[in-house]
Amino acid sequence: MFMSDHAPVLQSDLDLRLLHRGKVRDVYEIDAETLLMVASDRVSAFDVVLPQPIPFKGEVLTLVTAWWLEQLEDRIGHHLIAVDPDVIVDRHPDLAASRDVWQRRAMLVRRTDPVLVECVVRGFITGSAWKEYAKGGTLAGEPLPEGLRESERLDPPIFSPATKAQEGEHDENITFDQVVDLLGADLAGRLADLSQEIYAYGRDVAGERNIILADTKLEFGTAPSGELLLIDEVLTPDSSRFWPKESYVLGRGQPSLDKQPIRDWLDGLEDWDKTPPAPDLPDAVVNEASERYQDVFRRLTGISLSAYVPPRFGTNR
Ligand SMILES: Nc1ncnc2c1ncn2[C@@H]1O[C@H](COP(=O)(O)OP(=O)(O)OP(=O)(O)O)[C@@H](O)[C@H]1O
Ligand SMILES: [Mg+2]
């Protein structure tokens, strides 16, 4: 089948061992130490994967991650070996044939043993944290200051870990003490400190672009060497809530920079109960969402997606 450079990818089917297919990423084994993580153009809303791919979404997720990791490299070790397709093909010539499917959306990464806690940092109260707080003034069962309003800034930001949910289930917020019980005080403390540092860095950089980084979810893994590495996607629109500063209003939910057209359209349907299967999205909604993802990239980095050249990482420098 002919594929242009930019044919959207709903599902990649590479000739490699597929280890995991998540809501967005297809994760393949390259060898015992290396994975190829392919960000598809799948999109989910209300936790349901939608039938249509969103052109350029996978590319945005992968290249935003590369853009941040280049800046964060001095602070923390990360899993990225290469994003530049030429570097990936140099290392793994077998991948040349399928290049059109994966280029600019795939990350070649160091394989780790993922830490089984999602490291969320919240600088504003929204989402599941707001839901719980609105009911009883707590987050993961622990009291927060009284009188917070929806979308209010949390100062200082809160390390708000969650368990990694199994497929089809929701992550569950847990306390820091529960992380200590699971992982020990030393690792728990390092995760909290690193997560806070990365969030603060991301908040400051996004802030210069008039984007509020409301919260973000980070993942860490342990390399065979024992080194703790930042893994997965980093400070992307899928792992973070980015709010345009100009439309921020305290006391209500905020529009999302990227998924809002999809959510609004789905919300307007009378006969869909937000369980699978999801309805087909009209072309106009798909195109609007695609533009939004590309706009997030441009607004955040100051570079248009098509002009961005990913850096060479680590040993490839
Ligand atoms: N360097 C790495 N080593 C090992 N596993 C990794 C690494 N980087 C990311 N992962 C794992 O790969 C998976 C990425 O897939 P993806 O994000 O699509 O699905 P998911 O997080 O399992 O589910 P969801 O659809 O809720 O996001 C995650 O389970 C993540 O923990
Ligand atoms: Mg994920």
Residue 275: the pLDDT is: 95
Residue 169: the pLDDT is: 74
CB 138 within 8 A of CB 131: no
Residue 291: the pLDDT is: 97
Whole-structure pTM value: 0.96
Our mutation pick for probing the ligand 1 site, out of 19, 25, 41, counting the most ligand atoms within 8 A of Cβ, is: 25
Residue 5: the pLDDT is: 57
238 lines ligand 1 (CB under 6 A): no
Residue 314: the pLDDT is: 64
User: 22 alpha carbon to ligand 2 midpoint, in Å?
Assistant: 7
Alpha helices in 79-183 (DSSP H): 85-91, 99-102, 127-136, 176-183
Residue 154: the pLDDT is: 97
The single-letter DSSP state of residue 273 is -
User: 217 alpha carbon to ligand 1 midpoint, in Å?
Assistant: 12
Distance between CA 166 and CA 149 in Å, rounded? 31
Residue 83: the pLDDT is: 97
232 lines ligand 1 (CB under 6 A): yes
Condensed to tens digits (0 to 9), the pLDDT of residues 96-140 reads 999 999 999 999 999 999 999 999 999 999 999 999 999 999 999
Ligand 1, atom 25: closest residue by C-alpha: 23
Condensed to tens digits (0 to 9), the pLDDT of residues 13-24 reads 999 999 999 999
80 lines ligand 1 (CB under 6 A): no
Alpha helices in 12-126 (DSSP H): 57-72, 85-91, 99-102
User: 107 alpha carbon to ligand 1 midpoint, in Å?
Assistant: 12
Burial of 184 (0-12, 13-18, 19+ CB in 10 A): exposed
Instruction: Measure CA 176 to chain center.
Output: 22
Distance between CA 240 and CA 234 in Å, rounded? 9
Distance between CA 61 and CA 239 in Å, rounded? 9
The single-letter DSSP state of residue 307 is G
User: 147 alpha carbon to ligand 2 midpoint, in Å?
Assistant: 33
174 lines ligand 1 (CB under 6 A): no
Distance between CA 129 and CA 153 in Å, rounded? 13
Domains of the chain: 114-247 (3.30.470.20)
22 lines ligand 1 (CB under 6 A): yes
27 lines ligand 1 (CB under 6 A): yes
**Which residues in the chain land under pLDDT 50?**
1-4, 316-317
CB 76 within 8 A of CB 198: yes
